[in-house]
């Protein structure tokens, strides 16, 4: 499993929550973290996200990689921001990152992709009269969620391979294989979409 997803089966209230409502909650939390500069409010959002992880009863084997990733990002970003903008602004930036990324990751772990796609299609159904295709938008949302986990998995595999070769501290040893494998994944995804007729409507116009 990769740190950023995807679904972890469970019976918690978050697992049973409607996908559309869960997505709106994540968006609202992310928007709220951007609209405030108060560290106390941002700390409260982080505490709320942490409580969500507890309520969801996510196994520790899934929590630990996410926690390790968040700490690494917070330390790296914090060090750079501390030097550029000072400690007070750095705290705000780090808390925003932790709250938003923690909530988004929890969402991917408690929401099936198929359920989310279905919720998007139903929610956007009335927009058909304006030329919007809910099925395509739903597919895009599903692909986005799956890509998060896929790219995270590729990054982990490339990092492990570089470490096995003793090149874990070389940026090139990570960046080049990661880029190549990402492009291969994108190419395979494009072929799969073409095989299912994605884009045929545009070609016929």
User: Can you give the residue ranges of every domain in the chain?
Assistant: 1-111, 135-197
Q: What is the mean pLDDT of residues 135-163?
A: 69
What residues does 2 pair with on adjacent strands? 5
> How far apart (Å, rounded) are the C-alpha atoms in residues 135 and 117?
8
What do you get for the CA distance between the two ends of the chain, in Å?
A: 42
- Look up tokens 């030097």; give the residue: 83
- What pLDDT, in 10s, does the model give residues 16-69? 999 888 888 988 998 888 888 899 999 999 999 999 999 999 898 888 877 877
Contacts 24+ apart (CB under 8 A), 116-121: 116/19, 116/20, 116/23, 116/141, 116/142, 116/145, 117/141, 117/142, 118/19, 119/18, 119/19, 119/20, 119/23, 120/20
pLDDT of amino acid 12 = 93
- What pLDDT, in 10s, does the model give residues 66-124? 787 778 777 877 777 777 777 788 888 888 888 888 888 888 889 887 787 777 777 76
CA distances from 98 to 38, 46, 76 (A): 15, 7, 13
- What pLDDT, in 10s, does the model give residues 152-178? 667 767 777 877 887 767 777 777 887
DSSP string, 127-176: GGGGT--HHHHHHHHHHHHHHHHHHHHHHHHHHHHHHHTT-TT-HHHHHH
- Closest of 43, 170, 25 to residue 103, by C-alpha: 25
Contacts of 118 (CB under 8 A, 6+ apart): 19, 138
With a threshold of 0.75, does the pTM exceed it? no
- Closest of 124, 22, 106 to residue 58, by C-alpha: 106
> How far apart (Å, rounded) are the C-alpha atoms in residues 101 and 86?
22
Coil/strand/helix, residue 5: strand
- Look up tokens 């992709």; give the residue: 113
pLDDT of amino acid 50 = 93
């Amino acid at each position: 499993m990769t740190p950023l997803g995807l679904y972890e089966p469970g019976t918690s209230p978050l697992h049973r929550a409607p996908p559309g409502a869960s997505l709106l909650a994540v968006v609202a939390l992310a928007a709220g973290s951007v609209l405030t500069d108060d560290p106390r409010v941002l700390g409260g959002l982080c505490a709320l996200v942490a409580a969500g992880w507890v309520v969801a009863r996510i196994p520790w084997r899934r929590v630990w990689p996410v926690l390790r990733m968040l700490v690494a990002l917070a330390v790296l970003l914090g060090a750079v921001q501390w030097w550029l903008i000072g400690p007070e602004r750095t705290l705000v930036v780090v808390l925003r990152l932790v709250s938003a990324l923690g909530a988004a990751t929890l969402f991917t772990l408690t929401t099936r992709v198929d359920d989310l796609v279905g919720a998007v299609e139903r929610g956007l159904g009335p927009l058909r009269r304006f030329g919007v295709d809910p099925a395509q938008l739903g597919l895009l949302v599903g692909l986005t969620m799956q890509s998060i986990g896929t790219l995270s998995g590729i990054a982990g595999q490339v990092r492990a391979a570089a470490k096995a070769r003793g090149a874990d501290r070389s940026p090139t040893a990570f960046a080049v294989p990661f880029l190549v494998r990402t492009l291969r994944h994108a190419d395979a995804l494009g072929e799969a979409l073409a095989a299912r007729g994605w884009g045929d409507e545009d070609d016929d116009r």
